[in-house]
Amino acid sequence: MSMVALSKVNKTTLANQLKISRTSLYYTKVQPAKDEALKNQIETVMVKHKAYGHKRIALELQTSKKRIRRVMKMFGLKPVRLRKWQPVKLDDQNKLPVDRPNVTKILCPIAPNIVWAGDFTYISYHGKFIYLATILDRFTREVVGFAVSCWHNKELVLQAFKTALEHTKKAPVYFHSDQGSEYDSQEYISYLESLNVVVSMSDKAAPWQNGHKESFYSHYKFELDLKNANRFNSLGELLEAIYIQIYYYNTERIHTALKMSPRTFRRLYESQRLTNQTPVD
C-alpha cells in the first residue's frame, strides 16, 4: 500500500488491517509524566516530614504504598535510616534491680489512660545538657505530658507526670518506666501510689521493653535536628522548638501503627465510643 493510499485509510480500517485496537493509534505514554508529578509530591512530603518512609508517604498522599515505593526507587528518593544510641546513666550502672511488675509483658491497652510510659532524654546545648521528660499514652501514642529541666532528677519526672494529669484530668491504671533512680525514688513512687497508680518497670538492662519511648525519642531528636541544637540563638528558642515539635508529633505526624496522628486517633476513638453509648430510639 502506497503512502498516499495509506493516508486515505481511516483509523478503524487501519487498525483492523494491523490487528490492533483503534485506541492504540492515539496512544502516547503518560506514565512518565505521572511518575514525575508523583515524585514532586513525594519530595514535598519528605521536606515537611523528614522521617517518613514509603508507608507513611502513601498514607499522606492517599495512594498505594507499592506505587510510592516504585517511584522512590526510580528517582533514588531514600528515607533517612535512624541509628539509635542511648547513653548509659553512670549513677544507675551499679544500682540493684528492683522488684516491680512489668505490664509490658502481659498487657496490651485497649483504651486511653490504661498504661502511660515515661522516659527522658538529654539535649546537648552549648556544652551543657538540657533534659526532656515525656509521658506517652500506650494506646493512643499521644504525648500527654512533658517537662524540661537542666537536671535529670525526680522533680523533672514528677513535673512531666503532673502536666499529664492536668491534660487528661485522669490518672492511668499503670505507669511504666525503666529502673532509673528518678523513677524509683521514694517521693515519685509514693506520689503515684497516692493516686492508686500501679508502678510498672522494665527489667534491668532491657530498654526494648519500653520500646515505644525509645522509638519516639529517636525520631523526635532526628526530626528536630537536635544534633545541631546550637543553631538556636537562645535557650528560649530551643524550648519553643521542643514544644512545637511535640505539638507536631501529636497533631500532624502520621503514626505508622495508627495510620493517622495520635490526637486524631484519640478523638476518633472517643467519638466512636460516644456513638456506641448513645441509646437508639
Nearest to 177 by CA among 145, 233, 136, 140: 136
pLDDT tens string 199-240:
999 887 666 667 778 889 988 999 999 999 999 999 999 999
Task: Clarify whether residues 52 and 141 are in a common domain.
Answer: no
Cα–Cα distance between 258 and 272 in angstroms, integer?
15
Look at the chain and report how many structural domains it folds into: 2
Q: What's the grid cell of residue 167?
A: 491534660
Are 107 and 245 within one domain?
yes
Instruction: Supply the range of the domain harboring residue 172.
Output: 90-272
Within 13 A of 59's CA, how many CA atoms are on the CB side? 15
DSSP 32: H
Place of cell 476518633: 268
81 found inside a domain: no
What is the model's pTM? 0.78
CB under 8 Å to 71, separation ≥6 — which residues?
A: 35, 38, 39, 42, 77
How many Cα atoms occupy the beta-carbon half-sphere of 166 within 13 Å? 9
Kindly state whether residues 148 and 176 are assigned to the same domain.
Answer: yes
Q: Which amino acid is at 157?
A: V
pLDDT in tens, 37-77: 999 999 999 988 888 999 999 999 999 999 999 999 999 99
Residue 84 belongs to a domain:
no
Residue 209 inside a domain? The answer is yes
C-alpha cell at 244: 512545637
Taking a C-beta distance cutoff of 8 angstroms, is the pair 199, 191 a contact? no
